[in-house]
Structure 1
């Protein structure tokens, strides 16, 4: 034990000593608390000596954010404020007592809770209440070109006759036909809009929540002619800046794509500007299969490589001049320059959520260099996590934050372990032997770090995407060197040469490096084990896995081996999770039912995105267009029927005329309509139930012990939760003629409204 204990370790020792009564009378299996106390105190003293308590403050902050989102109704803001003040007061008066650590942990917890409440209050804006077709006017904030047509974000000025309390501030719309829209244009068009869709199944990806925190109150498409007219007012500086940035990004995207050519040009442009619209779905699928899709989402890897390239280049350039190298702090100058370059890269690439988070992490690491502190440390990572969650608390629920910070935490822990190992002398080796030794060490480091990062993020990928990529280590090990040493350095050099008009050869070179990455992706796509489907498992398993990862990476004493306990519990829960036998879409127009063969079949019309979500949740590798999805399904104009895995009859009703027969013969009845009184079906999921619960799932049981699971809580709603509207509304032609709006969830451009979940995954 070190000669001087921390105050907290001594206080813990005193508490444990009092708990044992100084006699070690409490025993379990022959091991007394008196035996455990010295070991535990030594471990705590070691943790405190190495300053490992601060990272747990970031964990406490994150737990507070999670508790805010776990609340079943919108909490009062004064509650976390009062609790935070009390916790800070207790910490101030108990600095020499064991309760100090507990008070500080509570303070960070309530601060995280308050951050979530404040963020929700700050971004809350009207969300479209129901499907609407109406005239739309507004400013175009951004435009993304895509093979299937452009997509734009519009800041709304008017939407039909909706007032300020009903009209969304921003909407995302797609266009079927090419339109010459630019950021900053004021447009007039007819829009077909719907509320941002919720999860396709309980526990699935919730686009409603993401859209709420992005300030998007509706999604849909523009129909008919889009006219560009004079704006009614001068745009504010925020819109003017967004317009300039988007125009510059689009221009550079086009230049890179043309210079590099093909899909390598599209991917290269995405790495620089963040515009991924030119990448085809075939390329996306190949990158996913190889575990390389993270390279097209600008996040930690890209920010580290870009900032690292600037840091290395500036420091190397200044080191060429002895007068500067010997008198100026060139390392700090390089760090400051890299910080400026990282900020510029973030702004120019669109400043997406993942990019902002990567920027915060990078600035924290480079700031440590300016403060003469180690750049890679668990303390710096904790500071970055607190900063990220304070600005965007909702990030803790998404795969980007979870995967990026878990990977970095494991890599930092690996670096600390490697630094603690005794070095091996190479002075006696010749130059060739030293070169070979360095090459071997670099290769081993690349393989080990790739393996560690893949293992650290594997559980999060399995939870959010229901996929595992066991061969991603191979894909990343082959492709990442080309990204690190060709693609990203060329990207930095190309941006610097772009104002001079000398960047075209650099983009071609970047495209050649990207072509190798794509060749690796397409080659691995054909491998049988490249992607494995995994059934969805409960969030409790992910929480336990996260706890295991935190204990393993933060603890430096033998306490780290306690991580095996929650890890084993997480595996047990994930392996024993029950799979739903029936999935019902949020609008009741379609369902997926497990048939007698044990596989899902689809009843009704469902978008390909929704079907893909159902299949992934079930661990089914089939694609939405697979013909076997109609096996055992019988449909007519009034609805569909099929036999479930337990022999019961499931009916999907489309028209009211089908209720007479299906209410009598069906055991489980699903419909987008309201079931008439007296329907004899034992289990009914209709419009009323879907309005209360959102998308639903059913786990069939014996003797009528079926479990119905809803996406939404049954009694309360959070700010971002939207129930299914009671009826569609049109503020345009439909309302004028008295006919109901023809728009539905499937008719409002479903493929545009259902975003690619994996696009937000971090490396």
Structure 2
């Protein structure tokens, strides 16, 4: 094409192809109509030229997954599959019209994500225990994890006394205090106290029951007596034998690494190699969390990239030593294949956890791009990895691991073009100056990528964990060089030397580096305010901030600045969180009530883990053991009352004798008992209501009450007793006369869930 000066000017292929595609009406596409040949038309053309429409397919796929998990009951499978086929056919028919083709592909991706969720849910369906029971059982040990107080077994159940096969869970996670001699592959029997996997402690909290369902775990609990080794009634299947052999090899290597290094560093070093974190003490966990580097003990993207990168570098370096091979063979591609094999073996050996499998998929896609002579780091490859991960495990989208890992990688990929801009300055003359410059650039890269990743993952951390680590930048900047340059290369070399028995010195070198990491963590974690507890973000704030992250990272043009709109709105919602006024345990064992002073007050006997979840969701940094949590509750043997916000009495009833008085004066009654039919109060949550709702939260409004529960979702109900007297109107003689913490309640042990989920 010639311009007005007679010179030939090339038109980018993507723009030329776009301009040649007709609209549905047959006319050519005129992008200038979108914005008067202005900013929008230029940027849309650039997005198409850079092929940045493809990543939005992954976004639409994820949207379909979210819609599936918002659906009630079990959606039909034929509906999303039929819609997927319809829109995919429409996309093929309209492929010559880019706008219509893009819309059809986007809608088809939404239905594909919905279908993936429906298929996955059906494929993992297995019985789940319906009630608490103490029952004799037998089964094969599938995996063993060492803990400070014993062992935790993943048991593939063969028989449960008096439990029909249709109701018997396939797997159970059971703790045992004295697990000496127990190992994967053994057939054992014993009496266990089992309960259904616990649901979320509050609506929006971590749902262990959902995660357990997709792992095929239908019960959790502990052995209440001796565990016996038995002769199996049948030989174990090949999958169980393979899982047992891998788990036993992992445990053996875990013990060897821990003993070679010793101390807290031994547990951390073993976890970095085998994924077994049971030997890490809670004190060490707190140190790592306080420094913002706890992610290093969870084998995920960082470890997979470093391990695969070590394999890639070793193989490429060895092959480059032979000039004939380096000149005649595709050394880079051979090294990429070796890295893919090494990463796969590392994933299997480290337990094939969900986060590890996602990291493996991302790594395989990146090295697959090397084999295809494509850029390894690209938003397109990240999108392909996301689609593969969500097609295999749609439930991963709801968890923090997927959100934080893909969010961080997307943000860093958006930063890569800026970091790769070449400086116009001349290179330093001396080798020392070049070395100093290289070190400076490497440290600047670590600090910059850590800062970007921390900002990108902050909304997800606040939503899922209600905590932020403002000094995590310092902790990561000091610790990651040791992990990258010493710890992970030593791990790879140590595993290769392990079969020859020459690995102990390697583990000791790795242990020295891990010890330095722990010292750095303790130093950073000792800063005042190293861990900030923040109120849980609302779902709306998380959606807006996630949308801002997507719009900021996917576009290649200045369209990314549109992200300021949802980002600002999300930050506004996050800055003014709507706190709940009451948190209620799923079984009515206890509650947290916001007193008239504005802080939560505990009543009853909720588990320590559940109480911690409530406090963190409220942005309250107090421990569940803090005695001040019960000072605002007025209690006697029959129950407690709390003067809540809005000058309303909230009653927690423990004995039927309290119903007569509390039903007359309380705005809300919480009890695990069955309330009498004559009890007329503003809002009543007794055993029947809790059985239907599960864990519940309440937020007071002037003329209504907003109720959210795990099982029934959100409801807004009007006050039913506007005439209930307020706290300041109550005669003193009608109030409890004892202001003391409620004594320990004698609840049946089998009705209280105190297990902390993973």
Within 5 Å, which residues of 2 pair with 1:59-78? 59-78=59-78
**What is residue 153 of structure 2 aligned with on the other side?**
152
1:615-654 Cα shifts (integer Å, max 9, x gaps):
1100011111111111122333332222223332222112
TM-score for both structures, normalised by structure 1: 0.91
Q: 1:745 Cα shift?
A: 4.0
Match of 1:286 in 2: 287
Q: How far apart in 2 are the matches of 1:109 and 1:520?
A: 45
Counterpart-to-counterpart distance in 2, 1:486 and 1:261:
18
Tell me whether 480-489 or 567-576 shows the greater mean CA deviation.
567-576
1:143 is matched with 144
Of 729, 738, 750, 1:744 maps to 750
Secondary structure of 2:47 counterpart: helix
Secondary structure in structure 2 of the residue aligned to 1:150: strand
Does residue 1:168 correspond to 2:169, yes or no? yes
With a CA cutoff of 8 Å and minimum separation of 6, indicate the structure with the bigger relative contact order: 1
Instruction: Give the Å deviation of 1:245.
Output: 0.6
Aligned equivalents of 1:58, 1:491: Cα separation in 2: 34
Q: Partner residue of 2:407?
A: 406
SS in 2 for 1:340: helix
Structure 1: distance between partners of 2:105 and 2:311: 38
CA-to-aligned-CA distance 1:227-281 (integer Å, 9 cap, x gap): 1100000000000000001110111111111000001000000111111011111
- Cross-structure match for 1:192: 193
Local SS of the residue matching 2:311: helix
Q: Secondary structure at the match of 2:224?
A: strand
Deviations 1:726-751 (A, max 9, x none): xxxxxxxxxxxxxx9944342x5x2x
Mapping of residues 486-635 of structure 1, within 5 Å: 486-635=486-635
Call closer, same or farther: CA 1:636–1:18 in 2, change over 3 Å. Answer: farther
Q: Which deviates the most, 34-43 or 393-402? A: 34-43
Which residue of the partner structure matches residue 132 of structure 1? 133
Q: What does 1:203-602 correspond to in 2, within 5 Å? A: 203-419=204-420, 421-427=421-427, 429-602=429-602
Question: Aligned pairs, how many?
Answer: 717
Aligned in 2, Cα 1:649/1:176: closer, same or farther, shift over 3 Å? farther
In the alignment, structure 1 residue 99 sits paired with structure 2 residue 100: yes
Q: Which residue of 2 aligns with 1:114?
A: 115
Conserved? CA contact 1:72–1:713, under 8 Å: no
| Structure 1 segments unaligned to the other structure (5+ residues) | 25-32, 717-739, 757-763
SS state at 1:744 partner: helix
- Cα shift at 1:320: 1.0
Is the 1:593–1:644 contact (alpha carbons within 8 Å) kept by the matching residues of 2? yes
Question: What residue number does 2:756 align with?
Answer: 754
CA distance in 2 between partners of 1:611 and 1:200 (Å): 9
Q: Is residue 707–residue 714 contact of structure 2 (8 Å, CA) maintained in 1?
A: no
Question: What corresponds to 1:724 in structure 2?
Answer: none
Q: Corresponding residue for 2:733?
A: none
Tell me, in whole angstroms, the C-alpha distance in 2 between the residues paired with 1:87 and 1:71. Answer: 21
Equivalents in 1 of 2:331, 2:708: separation in Å?
Answer: 60
Shift of 1:714: 6.1
Instruction: Within 5 Å, give how 1:13-32 maps onto structure 2.
Output: none
Q: Secondary structure at the match of 1:258?
A: helix
Aligned Cα root-mean-square deviation (Å):
2.3
Cα distance between partner residues in 2 of 1:110 and 1:714: 24
Q: Indicate conservation of the 8 Å contact 2:139/2:187, yes or no.
A: yes
Paired residues of 1:197 and 1:754 also in contact (CA < 8 A): no
In the alignment, the residues of structure 2 paired with residue 197 and residue 6 of structure 1 have an alpha-carbon distance, to the nearest angstrom, of 57
Relative distance call for 1:34 and 1:134 in structure 2 (3 A) is: closer
Structure 1 contact 16–37 (Cα < 8 Å) conserved: no
| SS across alignment from 2:106 | helix
- Which deviations, in whole Å up to 9, do the C-alpha atoms of 1:70-110 show, x marking residues without a partner? 11222110011111111111111111112001111112111
Inter-partner Cα distance in structure 2 for 1:19 and 1:390: 34
Other structure's SS at 1:191 match? strand
Query: Residues 473 and 12 of structure 1: is their aligned pair in 2 closer, same or farther, counting only changes over 3 Å?
Result: farther
The answer for the alignment partner of 2:738 in structure 1 is none
Alignment check: 8 A CA contact 2:671 2:686 kept = yes
Query: What per-residue deviation string (whole Å, max 9, x for no partner) do you get for residues 598-622 of structure 1?
Result: 1111101111110110011000111
- Unaligned runs of 5+ residues in structure 2 are 1-9, 716-745
User: Structure 1 residue 2: deviation in Å?
Assistant: 4.2
1:655-670 correspondence to structure 2 within 5 Å: 655-670=655-670
Task: State the match for 1:726 in structure 2.
Answer: none
Q: Is the 8 A contact 1:6 1:49 kept in 2?
A: no
Q: 1:11 offset after TM fit, Å? A: 6.0
Instruction: Please report how far the alpha carbon of residue 469 of structure 1 lies from its aligned counterpart in structure 2 after TM superposition.
Output: 1.0
| Change beyond 3 A, Cα 1:225–1:100 | same
**Deviation, structure 1 residue 428:** 6.1
Distance 1:143 1:467 in 2: 31
Partner of 1:82: 82
